[in-house]
Amino acid sequence: MNKIRIGIVGYGNLGKSVELGIRQNEDMELVGIFTRRNPSTIETVTRAVAVYTMDEAKKMTEQIDVMVLCGGSMSDLPFQGPEFASLFNTVDGYDNHAQIPDYFSAMNENALEAQKICIIAGGWDPGMFSINRLYAEAILPEGNTYTFWGKGVSQGHSDAIRRIKGVMKGKQYTIPIENAIEAVRRGDRPELSTREKHHRVCFVVAEEGTDKEQIEHEIKTMPNYFADYDTEIHFITEEELEKNHPGLPHGGLIIRHGRTGLHEEHNHVIEYQLALDSNPDFTANVLVAFARAAHRLNQEGVAGAKTVVDIAPAYLSSKSAEELRKSII
Ligand code: NDP
């Protein structure tokens, strides 16, 4: 069996997790990691993989079947995505929800021209949550869908805290409000404001001598990030942060409450829950499964940009259709 040859573009949390995720899939091999930094300065997790400059990728189109794009959604993927779509099949976890239609168009144009396939917005949200929202709404057209995130670390909100003057380090947990979840499960179909669905808890390491009240005020009133939530702030030491808040756990819950019957007398609840010890590891494993689909579909002649909901589930599995009929169906 020819293995699917994978490349990783960008070597942050997600890139490292893709490196590890590939090891759990016997039908895949990692050809190399591509970075904007000096390759000789990069220490890879497994120490068993070649690191190249981004420029070198252009010369390796015959050696790599799928590039997993692991750059940041805010400023890397909008440029790296379309560039790589002209050369390789790609998958990515682009998570800027509002910009997904524009990103799709840019990827689609280049992918079609190059006759490559680019699966965008993989991961868990967008990604597995999108797929589950689609199934739930298609099956229960009459009803309401709710998404709750956490308990988990939001990297975007943690970054926002760290940008405040006087903050050395910080971590932010997004926590869903249990009463709201219970009301949804009961079928109350509540109208929930932002504040009624989640609250935020921050652990902050402040520089010595800084005004903690000022930091607290700046966090709590920060528009888009904290102003619409009830936010709790704890000042702790660097040692406490390292000891009590390691890793990047996350997760969440999709609930669809639907009704059927002549008088909508039958209630149905669909739930899809993720409790993730490591957000990047899980996201990476989703991308790796979609890399398999990208390779297979492109071999069948499929090109252009796709989102995760465009891909039939059997393409994700390393098992043949026959094996799936025996073991999964
Ligand atoms: P990072 O900030 O860790 O990495 C982003 C890029 O920054 C890397 O590709 C790397 O590029 C560069 N970088 C990383 N570490 C360093 C360093 N020490 N010094 C200089 N540059 C560095 O982001 P993540 O890997 O955590 O996340 C990537 C994206 O994944 C996020 O922006 C998010 O949008 C997406 N994501 C999506 C999810 C989903 O469910 N859809 C879930 C989680 C994340 P280079 O090697 O070229 O320097």
Integer angstrom CA distances of residue 104 from 118, 120, 285? 9, 7, 22
Q: Which two tokens stand for residue 273?
A: 């829950």
* Mean per-residue pLDDT, 214-226: 95
> What integer best gives the mean pLDDT of the chain?
96
- Residue 13 pLDDT grade (very low, low, confident, very high; cuts 50, 70, 90): very high
pLDDT value at position 37?
98
Q: Which two tokens stand for residue 196?
A: 């009624």
- CA torsion sign, 276 to 277 to 283 to 284? negative
pLDDT value at position 214?
97
What percent of the chain stands above pLDDT 70? Answer: 100
Strand partners, 8: 33, 68
Q: Which residues line the pocket of ligand 1, CB cutoff 6 A? A: 10-15, 35-37, 70-73, 76, 93, 95, 123-127, 279-280, 283
pLDDT in tens, 129-177: 999 999 999 999 999 999 999 999 998 899 899 999 999 999 999 999 9
Structure pTM? Answer: 0.95
Residue with more model confidence, 155 or 253: 253
pLDDT in tens, 122-142: 999 999 999 999 999 999 999
pLDDT value at position 155?
85
Q: Which atom of ligand 1 is nearest to the CA of 37?
A: 48
All domains of the chain, ordered by start, with CATH? 4-126+280-328 (3.40.50.720), 152-247 (3.30.360.10)
The gap between the terminal CA atoms of the chain, to the nearest Å, is: 25
pLDDT value at position 64?
98
CA 278 / ligand 1 centre spacing (Å): 14
Judged by average pLDDT, the poorest of 14-23, 85-94, 155-164 is 155-164
pLDDT value at position 156?
85
**Pair type for strands 89-92 and 28-35:** unpaired
CA dihedral 244, 246, 248, 253 (to 10 degrees): -30
* Mean per-residue pLDDT, 96-100: 92
How many other C-beta atoms are found inside a 10 Å radius of the C-beta of residue 104? 19
In sequence order, which ranges of the chain are alpha helices (DSSP H)? 13-22, 54-57, 77-85, 100-114, 128-139, 155-162, 178-186, 194-197, 212-220, 238-244, 279-299, 321-327
CA 263 / ligand 1 centre spacing (Å): 50
pLDDT value at position 1?
75
Integer angstrom CA distances of residue 326 from 245, 256, 318, 320, 321? 43, 30, 14, 10, 9
